[in-house]
Amino acid sequence: MLRYREVRDSINTLFGGLTVITVILLVYVFGSSITWSLTVMYSGEVNFSELLYALTLSIGTAGASSSLALIISIPISYYLARREFRGKKLVQTLLLLPLALPPVALGILLFIFFTKSPLGVLINNYLSVVFDVKGLVIAQFAVILPISIRVLASVFSSLNPSYENLALVLGFNRLQALLKVILPMIRNPLISTYALLFSRALGEFGASVMLAGATRFKTETIPIALYLAFNSGDLWLTSSIILASLLASATLLLIIQSWEGEKVVA
């Protein structure tokens, strides 16, 4: 018994030490970046126009793509969690396949679809997706949709089906049971999922730059603005974007952490 406690205490000490070292390294990395950014900003010429444009566009496109992904993933993930059918594994693999692809590769696939395939060309001619703001929304949507499906499918699977079965007995149809019974029960996980999708869309770069391009004051989101500013040697804009990104990311992560602690009724 004494030996077991010694081993347990040693493991706890090891894990605690690794946690402390990791936190110290992260604080050092972020702290040095913030210090450098503030120094450059203090000594540089203040011009907020490009930063504000990139921030506004990022929030707008991330909000649109996250809302679209959440709305579409709810019925898909609910169906996958509640139904067994032939070929289900294949369907799940196809839906989650973008998770295994590099974002740049996914962006190239989207570019080929909208410029080479008959259906994609028709859509692009009508909506002007390629090298446009709409392309940013579609690229972000393609990246975050499988994330939303995977998270929500797990949430739906954790719910006791007796609640929706009771709703069906009381006269609700399947859609009414989902909207009036199930979704209110998972309100907190839905908010947490949306914040997760928004944060991922806000930082999306690879697929976006392949499909929508990197044009200043047109398709310039925060990651694209950071890429353009760093490549052009604009240290002031680079430092401003770093600080804005850290602030936005920290806020979103705090929201996610605060809602993840809430339990789903099972």
DSSP 148-192: HHHHHHHHHHHS-THHHHHHHHTT--HHHHIIIIIHHHTHHHHHH
Cα–Cα dist 181/164, whole Å = 7
Q: Which residue has the higher pLDDT, 47 or 107?
A: 107
CB 167 within 8 A of CB 176: yes
Most confident of 14-28, 32-46, 81-95: 81-95
Identify which of 137, 151, 136 has the alpha carbon closest to the alpha carbon of residue 99: 151
Long-range contacts for 255-261 (Cβ within 8 Å, ≥24 apart)? 255/191, 255/192, 255/195, 256/192, 256/195, 256/196, 256/199, 259/188, 259/189, 259/191, 259/192, 259/195, 260/192
**pTM score of the predicted model:** 0.82
pLDDT at residue 65 in the model: 97
Q: In this structure, which amino acid lies at residue 61?
A: T
pLDDT at residue 36 in the model: 65
pLDDT > 70? residue 41: no
- DSSP-derived 3-state class of residue 130: coil
pLDDT > 90? residue 27: no
Cα–Cα dist 260/44, whole Å = 40
pLDDT band at 261 (very low <50, low <70, confident <90, very high): low
Cα–Cα dist 118/159, whole Å = 42
pLDDT band at 59 (very low <50, low <70, confident <90, very high): very high
pLDDT at residue 4 in the model: 58
Q: Which CATH number fits domain 50-260: 4.10.490.10, 3.40.50.2300, 3.40.50.300, 1.10.3720.10?
A: 1.10.3720.10
Where exactly are the structural domains of the chain?
50-260
- What mean pLDDT do residues 246-265 have? 67
Q: In this structure, which amino acid lies at residue 18?
A: L
pLDDT > 50? residue 263: no
- Residues 124-165 pLDDT 10s: 999 999 999 999 999 999 999 999 999 999 999 888 888 888
Burial of 73-112, coded b for 16+ CB within 10 Å and e otherwise, reads: bbebbbebbbeeeeeeeeeeeebeebeebebeebbbbbbe
HSE, CB side, 13 Å, CA atoms: give it for residue 251: 8
- What mean pLDDT do residues 79-93 have? 89
User: 21: which 2 tokens?
Assistant: 């070292």
Q: Which residue has the higher pLDDT, 136 or 247?
A: 136
pLDDT > 80? residue 2: no
Identify which of 265, 249, 214 has the alpha carbon closest to the alpha carbon of residue 62: 249
- Residues 100-110 pLDDT 10s: 999 999 999 99
CB 220 within 8 A of CB 135: no
Identify which of 48, 39, 29 has the alpha carbon closest to the alpha carbon of residue 246: 29
pLDDT > 70? residue 67: yes
- For residue 18, the Cα-to-chain-centroid distance in whole angstroms is 28
- Residues 166-223 pLDDT 10s: 888 887 888 888 888 888 888 888 988 998 899 899 989 999 999 999 888 999 999 9
Percent of the chain topping pLDDT 70 = 88
Look at the chain and count its residues.
Answer: 266
Most confident of 2-11, 44-53, 141-150, 169-178: 141-150
Cα–Cα dist 13/52, whole Å = 46
Q: Output phi, psi for 258, to 5 deg.
A: -70, -35
Cα–Cα dist 110/207, whole Å = 8
